[in-house]
Amino acid sequence: MTIVAFVTGYLIGSIPTALWLGGRWGVDLRDGGSGNPGAANARRLGGFRLAVLVLTVEVVKGVTAVAAGSAIGDEAGAVGAGLGAIAGNVHNVWLGFRGGKGLGISAGVLLGIWSVMLPIAALVLVFTSALTRSTGRGTLVGLGVLVIGAVVWGQRGGPEAWGVDDPRLLLLTAIGISLILVRKHWHDARHPVRSPVPR
């Protein structure tokens, strides 16, 4: 059932909503700016309102994938579908396995799976991105904090008001998100884009 959940999440994550929304604004996110169909490029090409809309929809997609996965296979299904959604966003089958940077949908997945950790990882990402003037570097640091947090959480435990309780699944989530995102953001870290806005 976890495989079914992963595929379901992948299909949800691969829906090219950013491109559709950009088209409604009269901009092609792949044909300007960084060429990335994400919130940062939406801000460059379409303004703040389009960026917020793109980011909000990506977060909703992440939460939706987790909810669908949970219905299919409980906590393991939620994690499988969440990782599938991020993979579908970053390696989009409808766009030749090219896609966004996965931050918006990752936020939605964390919101559904490990809500307590989301604001911590987000604050680290934003602060480090602003400090280094590189979203790629900020993301790498944020991913490191996510994995370390999962290890510490598993050793010491902690209250989880909403999401997955099994610390092994939280660690799997952290490692899975990192493996999916690290390649794209490693490139950004080496060739900084001068914008602290998550993409």
Is residue 198, in this structure, part of any structural domain at all?
Answer: no
Is residue 195, in this structure, part of any structural domain at all?
Answer: no
Cα(107)–Cα(191) distance, integer angstroms: 24
Number of compact structural domains in the chain: 1
- Domain range for residue 35? 2-190
User: Quick check: pTM over 0.75?
Assistant: yes
Is residue 143, in this structure, part of any structural domain at all?
Answer: yes
pLDDT digit of tens for each residue in the chain (199 aa)? 789 999 999 999 999 999 899 888 888 888 877 778 888 888 888 888 999 999 999 999 999 999 999 999 999 999 999 999 999 999 999 888 888 889 999 999 999 999 999 999 999 999 998 998 888 889 999 999 999 999 998 887 666 657 888 999 999 999 999 999 988 777 666 655 444 344 3
Is residue 199, in this structure, part of any structural domain at all?
Answer: no
Is residue 139, in this structure, part of any structural domain at all?
Answer: yes
Is residue 37, in this structure, part of any structural domain at all?
Answer: yes
